[in-house]
Amino acid sequence: MTYFIDRRANAKHKSAVNRQRFLDRYRTHIKRSVEEAVNRRSITDMERGEKVSIPARDISEPVFQHGPGGRRRIVAPGNKEFVEGDRLRRPGGGGGGDGAGEGGASNQGEGMDEFAFSLSREEFLDFVFDGLELPHLERKNLVDLDDVRPVRAGLSREGVPARINIVRSMREAQARRIAMRAPIRRALRDATAALAEEEAKDPALRHPARIAELKAEIARLEKRLEAVPFIDTYDLRYNNLIDQPQPSSKAVMFCVMDVSGSMTQAHKDIAKRFFLLLYLFLERNYEKVELVFVRHHTAAKEVDEEEFFYSRETGGTIVSSALTKVDEIIDARYPPAQWNLYVAQASDGDNWDDDSVTCRNLLVERLMPRLQYFTYVEITPHAHQALWEEYERVEAEYAGRFAMRQIVESGDIYPVFRDLFKRRAAST
């Protein structure tokens, strides 16, 4: 097997290949450090990388080396200082005072305990969203002809030099040379045989004019053989590429957030952080995913990104208004045959008494038959209310496509997010 290694220098004369190999080798340690960093820092602070560290014992590798030098104290035959049964102190590392730890600290307290390095923003986000995906994403019917992909479609006689097919061009050139030289070689063999026959005759019977004619013919034929070009523009073949329409994997994510009066400022902050993390995940991992923001209290309305995160409007709580709004938007703009539909809802679970049953009916009768995945996060440290109980009934009916989790504090955001959007095993 042949391996091609790119050894071009990266920025500051560093090897990008070696760095990527290092990240792949210690992916488990780096991922654990990244998860700890996410829990420490704000979800909104994703514009910078992260400095991570790996314990020195985890990056140590077995090596071949010479035995320890310097002075060593051992029990040798015939010694006068030690007898059988004496305990010997373990010899040091030859440095005179090194500790027993793996950091190699000296008796002055100096040494190296961990290997630290910095991850760029792109590398940091790669580890943050590693192993996550939108569940049940399907390819839908063709709706836009501009969603195309270039595919190989045989060969053509015209093209750009970058797409030239060398093997087929040389094959065509060889076939042309064989075809053009065949009659010339045949005539040359006949003329050479006739000349040999004529020269083999008795000198008295030879025809000098005939011999001169045959020699001239042979010279002409040899010149014609040499004139056949090795390769001609007619021989060139180019890889032909055509644009093939591709099934669209377009998806839309409905972000539904409760902004009622029961949602405290701390609850709203947690919900906004959850949706910011979801926004970063979709923006980074998918090209054709639209986001629809819906805020609701007593009434629900579709808003833009700025109003969704920064508006201070509040009121009572009717959760069914948000689900009804999502259903209306789907009917108006997102046909299920052409779009993958997802809903992410965040609330504190507080709702009017009779409205929770209405929410369940809307989900079972209208939304869930058309949705790929529905996630509900309840932000509360208290016991669950009627909305959670009704949603549990929906989850039991649509197992695998409906998920619900509880968030108590900001440290639960990232673990819950990974649990909701972790990569599932491919269905058979």
* CATH number for position 401: 3.40.50.410
Calpha distance 323→31 (Å, rounded): 37
Answer yes or no: do 261 and 222 share one domain.
Answer: no
Count of domains in the chain?
A: 3
Answer yes or no: do 231 and 352 share one domain.
Answer: no
Choose the final residue of a domain: 240, 264, 281.
240
Q: For residue 198, is it within any domain?
A: yes
Residue 116: which residues within 8 A CB-CB, separation 6 or more? 51, 52, 53, 54
Q: For residue 106, is it within any domain?
A: no
Answer yes or no: do 287 and 359 share one domain.
Answer: yes
Angle between helices 413-420 and 265-285 (to 10 degrees): 40
CA distances from 13 to 10, 24, 118, 357 (A): 5, 21, 17, 64
Provide the pLDDT for residue 363: 93
For residue 19, what are the domain limits?
Answer: 13-59+117-128
Choose the final residue of a domain: 240, 259, 281.
240
**Count of other CB atoms within 10 angstroms of residue 98:** 15
Provide the pLDDT for residue 150: 82
Phi, psi values for residue 113, rounded to 5°: -100, -40
Q: For residue 196, is it within any domain?
A: yes
Provide the pLDDT for residue 145: 43
CA distances from 214 to 185, 195, 201, 238 (A): 15, 6, 15, 44
Provide the pLDDT for residue 112: 47
Answer yes or no: do 255 and 236 share one domain.
Answer: no
Per DSSP, the three-state class of 107 is coil
Answer yes or no: do 282 and 402 share one domain.
Answer: yes
Q: For residue 74, is it within any domain?
A: no
Distance of alpha carbon 145 from the chain centroid: 26
Answer yes or no: do 233 and 170 share one domain.
Answer: yes
- Please, are residues 391 and 420 in contact by the beta-carbon 8 Å criterion? no
Calpha distance 425→247 (Å, rounded): 22
Calpha distance 404→420 (Å, rounded): 8
Kindly report the pTM of this predicted structure: 0.57
Answer yes or no: do 230 and 305 share one domain.
Answer: no
Choose the final residue of a domain: 128, 150, 170.
128
The token pair at 423 is: 């990569």
Answer yes or no: do 233 and 341 share one domain.
Answer: no
Answer yes or no: do 232 and 303 share one domain.
Answer: no
**Count of other CB atoms within 10 angstroms of residue 45:** 9
Q: What is the pLDDT along the chain (428 residues), one digit of tens a residue?
A: 455 555 555 555 555 566 666 666 666 667 676 666 655 555 445 555 556 666 655 555 556 666 666 676 666 666 667 667 777 776 655 544 444 444 444 444 444 455 565 666 666 666 666 766 777 766 665 444 456 778 888 889 888 888 899 999 999 999 999 999 999 999 999 999 998 888 888 888 888 888 889 899 999 999 999 988 888 888 899 999 888 766 657 889 999 999 888 888 888 888 888 888 888 888 877 777 889 999 998 889 999 888 888 888 777 888 999 999 999 999 999 988 888 899 999 999 888 878 999 999 999 999 999 999 999 999 988 888 889 999 999 999 998 899 999 998 888 888 888 888 887 665 43
Q: Is the dihedral of CA 174, 178, 184, 189 positive or negative?
A: positive
Answer yes or no: do 343 and 276 share one domain.
Answer: yes
Calpha distance 303→309 (Å, rounded): 10
Answer yes or no: do 388 and 296 share one domain.
Answer: yes
Q: For residue 67, is it within any domain?
A: no
Answer yes or no: do 283 and 192 share one domain.
Answer: no
Q: Quick one: which of 326, 276, 278, 318 has its CA closest to 302?
A: 326
